[in-house]
Structure 1
Amino acid sequence: MSYLELSLDLAEDHAALRDSVRRFAIEQVRPTSLLLDKMTPEEVIAPGSPYWTLMKKMYELGYHTVLIPDAYGGLGLDPIANHIFWEEMAYGSVGLAVSLGCAAFGPFICAMMAEDELTEAYITPFVECRDASVMSCWGITEPNHGSDNLMPGGPQFFNPKITQQVKAAKKGDQFVLSGQKSAWISNGTIASNSMLFCNLDPSMGLAGGGICLVDLTQAGVSRGKPLDKLGQRDLPQGEVYFDEAVVPAGHFICDQESYTMITDMVVALANAHMGAFFTGVARSAYDLALQYSTERVQGGKRLCEHPTIQRRLFDMFSKIEASRYLSRAAMVYNMSTTPPNTKYSIASKVFCTQAAFEVASDALQIFGGYGLTKEYPIEKIFRDARAGLIEDGANDSLALHAASDIVREALES
């Protein structure tokens, strides 16, 4: 269903984008996601699967380039259009939206600070790709490092006893990579390259890291089996192993001198997008429940005529509207400001994922027993929403990280 746009300044092209992506999400993304949800992880990424059919359609439409500036041949959407796009895409499926976003994230970060060498190696091939054969993954999570890698500036970040498990050793004009990324790497089983977070200087702890773009098709790179999981089963995830794989020195986006600052920027951007994604998830659950409540009869009248259901629907509606305007404001600010104010992106991520989970739970309750069955998509949306409380940093950990900034600023003022 459509929603009332409370911004009276929304441009006509923004509204047109919203409507076109919504149609695509309903007609193409959601049906594909429901098919993929029933498959094994191996079947999802197999050649010819519905995953690849949909990805190719999105690449043909140029959707993979929404984050890439038009100077590099991308669609170059402004921050408001960017939020609209991802909310609508995740309305169809958050797993497929995350996969598309991760496919673009490496080239996107490159485009923000690219040298000619990186443009030729990664940005141009990605923009020109139409068959989904060129895609990135965000190589940050490791077996022993998850949310702690997403909290730059925290006390654990400067402890020399805590370092990234993937190490980069300088040899001439290139680096040699060794170590493992965990099973939670989105697109890890299928990506052609990775925006890789690795350690350059163990004496500095996590702060001694660097970020590079690395070719995953080379010798010395291997993959684990695709992860079998509760929610977002249409998002391929899996381990990536490095055994003396190489990356040219010129393919590093940053070294240890700027790693903390750049990681903070990446977290701000990633968490802002999570807010947009899960606003779409909440809307999808709400719309299904609202429609069902007008059709299902109990106690001699439609569910929507029962006061308890009406109140539940109102609470769901309120959470979605609050999510949209918090997440949109955080995205617009942090995509337009350097350095970003990361606590607002974290607030967006934590609030919107929690709201999506609560809305999906309430929606399932409105469906009653049918909500537990595969007959309706609400049980899938509920599982997908639950993953968001952990994805891109566990909510509890992120909240404490942002709280430390809030307290520090108060003490310094």
Structure 2
Amino acid sequence: MVDFSLSEEQLGYVKWAREFAQTHVRPASAKLDRLDDPQDRFPWEILERAHEAGVLQFGLPEAFGGSPVDEVTFCLVMEELGAADVGVAAVVAQYWNATQLIDRWGNDYHRETFIQPYLDKPRTVYAVAMTEANAGIDAHLPYDVPGAGPMLAAVPDGDEIVLNGAKCNISGSHVADVIIVFARTDTTVGLTQGMTAFVVTKDTPGFSVAETFDLVGHRVSPIAEIHFDDCRIPKENQLTPWNGAFAEMARQTVGRHWVGARYLGVGRAAYELALEQVKTRVQGGKPIIEHQMVARQIGDMAMTLEVARNVIWRAAWGSQNPEQADPNVMRMSRVYGSEAAMKVALEAMRLFGARGIRTDSGMEKLVRDAMTGLPPAPLDVSLMVAGQSIAGLR
């Protein structure tokens, strides 16, 4: 039986992350969210504070000045950051994810070139580039035929690899220092047998940011389209075995539930605002929490969040105990965290009444942020894959 009682160490991490989020993330991100130009919204000062506080180095191997923690603890910290701002949580998660992938998939050259030099640079940003304009869900199903999926080309040329193509909707890529890029290295087969991951830095000739997109929520961490035009990198920048990137991804379970955890934070923030509202808002001669319908709504919101949290923690535990893990729970954690955020945020807005749609309430930002959890690796497809797996079709 799995025991999810939190240890003193885990409770300490929650307290640490909550204090950081409330002090440095929430006030600054609320102001950045209102800026007109997406280029101006990136949370540079928060990133510096996160570096100073050790948030970015959280969970890194000891060789990089970190202290490894379990996956449930990662989710605890991600929930706290998400409750303050989902975009900031995404920037931090991308840092954690990319550095862990480089450490696990790479060798000493990769660690010494793409992690070590950046550890003392507070404004370092990492990105992971898979999606293309014509390859979103095809890369996740996967639709495994030649000509489908990511088609950014990587061709050997002497001691170099030449990249040509584009990636689209890549979070943080407009300011990223280091990008893990998934490229097609064999177009005669499907992506499961013909894709390789490489590492590209922003100063590489041939790399450019084509466009940065504005978003309805998640606004401090925009997404962008990036181009590779005869972009030459050393052969040593190859991160996975040749044509072996998909196999490496399939084995990578750590981190997938972080998405659910940060959106759980959004839902929790909306719930906490709504709870305060219904305790103090008086209608019908009494606080509205004393009306039965409102009390039921609060109970339903609390239940939704608790179920989401348990699914996410179970997935996190399973990622470190693969022999006992249920892969469908891994998929569900991302889906349920995102859907719980949307459901709870909308219910919370209703409980605010007309004030909920005012920009000074704080509620409308949470609804906008919750909306951005619905597209990533579209949730219906994740559930479809889970259903096929349960039925024995996968």
SS of 2:356's equivalent? Answer: helix
CA shift digits 1:292-350 (9 cap, x unpaired):
11111112111111111100000000011111111011012114438975432211111
How far, CA to CA, are the matches of 1:376 and 1:398 in structure 2?
Answer: 34
Would the alpha carbon gap of residues 280 and 179 (structure 1) be closer, same or farther in structure 2, given more than 3 Å must change?
A: same
Say whether 1:351 aligns with 2:336: yes
Q: How does 1:200-211 map to 2 (within 5 A)?
A: 200-207=185-192, 208-211=194-197
Contact 1:94-1:278 at 8 Å conserved across structures: yes
**Counterpart among 342, 359, 380 of residue 374 in structure 1:** 359
Q: How does 1:4-403 map to 2 (within 5 A)?
A: 9-39=5-35, 40-45=37-42, 51-126=43-118, 128-132=119-123, 134-151=124-141, 154=142, 156-157=143-144, 159-182=145-168, 184-207=169-192, 208-266=194-252, 268-337=253-322, 342-391=327-376, 393-403=377-387
**Shift of residue 259 of structure 1?**
2.4
Percentage of identical aligned residues: 27
Looking at secondary structure, tell me which structure has more helix per residue: 1
Matched letter for residue 28 of structure 2: T
Contact 1:18-1:84 at 8 Å conserved across structures: yes
Matched letter for residue 247 of structure 2: M
Contact 1:281-1:381 at 8 Å conserved across structures: yes
TM-score (norm 1): 0.90
| Cα RMSD, aligned residues only | 2.0
CA shift digits 1:172-224 (9 cap, x unpaired):
23211110011x21111000111111110011122211112111221111102
**Shift of residue 239 of structure 1?**
1.1
Contact 1:278-1:356 at 8 Å conserved across structures: yes
Extract unaligned runs of 5+ from structure 2: none
CA shift digits 1:17-56 (9 cap, x unpaired):
10111111122211122111101202214xxxxx111110
SS of 2:215's equivalent? Answer: coil
**Shift of residue 130 of structure 1?**
3.9
Would the alpha carbon gap of residues 335 and 242 (structure 1) be closer, same or farther in structure 2, given more than 3 Å must change?
A: farther
Aligned to 1:3: none
CA shift digits 1:208-244 (9 cap, x unpaired):
1111211122111110232111111111321111011
Contact 1:60-1:130 at 8 Å conserved across structures: no
Report the number of matched residues. Answer: 391
Contact 1:354-1:389 at 8 Å conserved across structures: yes
How far, CA to CA, are the matches of 1:72 and 1:396 in structure 2?
Answer: 38
SS of 1:219's equivalent? Answer: coil
SS of 1:238's equivalent? Answer: strand
How far, CA to CA, are the matches of 2:380 and 2:88 in structure 1?
Answer: 25
**Shift of residue 364 of structure 1?**
0.4
Contact 2:204-2:233 at 8 Å conserved across structures: no
How far, CA to CA, are the matches of 2:235 and 2:172 in structure 1?
Answer: 24
TM-score (norm 2): 0.94
Contact 2:271-2:302 at 8 Å conserved across structures: yes
